[in-house]
Amino acid sequence: MPLKHITAAEAKRLVDDGALLIDIRETNEYAAENIPGARNAPLSRLGAGATVGDAPVIVFHCKSGARTRMNAHALANCADAEAYILDGGIEAWKNAGLPVKRG
């Protein structure tokens, strides 16, 4: 199932309603800056058959949205849930004035 693209505001609403936010950036990127409450699941560690969580709704993000778009099919296979891509990644989240936690 293709992942739907959503804005930062839509992602925030979903997260507030219980969606699981998955940061697919590498561990060092996540450690330097992340969205509070996001779970880190680096794309480099997601292999065949991997699952990222058991929430009914999952929102994937990276830095700018490029990695999530390029790997949407693989990410969809890791989510046994309704799943979305945060367009613009953490950068769009910050540009929307939403909180981030720095290293």
Instruction: Please pick, among 22, 46, 52, 62, the residue that the annotation labels catalytic.
Output: 62
Phi and psi at residue 32, to the nearest 5°: -70, -35
Closest CA to 3 of 83, 88, 87, 81: 83
Residue 62 a catalytic site member: yes
Strand (E) or helix (H) holding 58? strand 57-61
Catalogue the active-site residues.
62
